[in-house]
Structure 1
């Protein structure tokens, strides 16, 4: 997949992604990458976050790959469930890293308005990357979300929430998951041709 023919929309989770977060590194590293900026990172509102993603997707006709972390993954699921067909067709795939289970017991109050999590198949290829010790989503829950969304799954050992706190700053290894997704997209495109 030629990078000039694709744009990368990066969706941070609750409280955003600081400069040392892997998403910030990827923003600087990937060609045609841009943030999906949110008006309020501290008190996220599902409707506002989904609308921001729709604006970013609809802003230009160039096909997009979504790169989401944590609450950003749940935002993608909500957007995909209700987006206009023309917008959904612009998204070629989604890399969903450490999805936050906003239905779990003890979920922080600011995230609860994102429940219930959509259970529909995503209308594009997707990869869910989770961890076997992420407090934001248990392994069974990560596997269930991936199954519901029709996503391929990778579980990392002892990776926490795959963020700065768990030692994932540049996360160069994460590019392997992005490349796997891009190969999946290309194979699907060849089958349809």
Structure 2
């Protein structure tokens, strides 16, 4: 039995695609230019920019009397409600768990938002558990969140894998603990010189199957 720890955003779910739909809905709801969705995406930077900064940038761009709390809530709702898992990823998750492996989601972020994505996408029925950084007071790449993930399912980190798209969170976290890792490259080249993933995958399904043996 192998423990597979998996990132959520832009790994198990296409967070950027979900956010893009939400951003387009937001622009339409406020009568703002539909073509500005690309600008919103650039400001959002795959969710790595804080919601307060993104919302303020939107408010500053338009003279539309927008309320910051409303903007933040709308953008979060879009990323959450439009989250989904591909059929290929679902099949790989079912296959690896049927083989006796355990899958735990390890994600940075706020508990309500990340848990909302997990349930909206149906991942709550496809994994054995999950940990969110806000809930365990530890963020990737810190060791604490990975230990919490293992404890969630009563597993050991011995022989465990971490799968994700972030070099500075997912792969670095695995490196710091001496764990095996799979990096989802998403069309990018690996650039870090101090550490590297055990394996580089083209797709989430490939990553799951590789780590699950």
Q: State the TM-score, normalizing by the size of structure 1.
A: 0.40
Q: Which has the larger radius of gyration?
A: 2
Ranked by relative contact order (alpha carbons within 8 Å, sequence separation 6 or more), the top structure is 2
Q: Which structure has the highest strand share of the two?
A: 1
Q: State the TM-score, normalizing by the size of structure 2.
A: 0.38
Q: Which structure has the highest helix share of the two?
A: 2
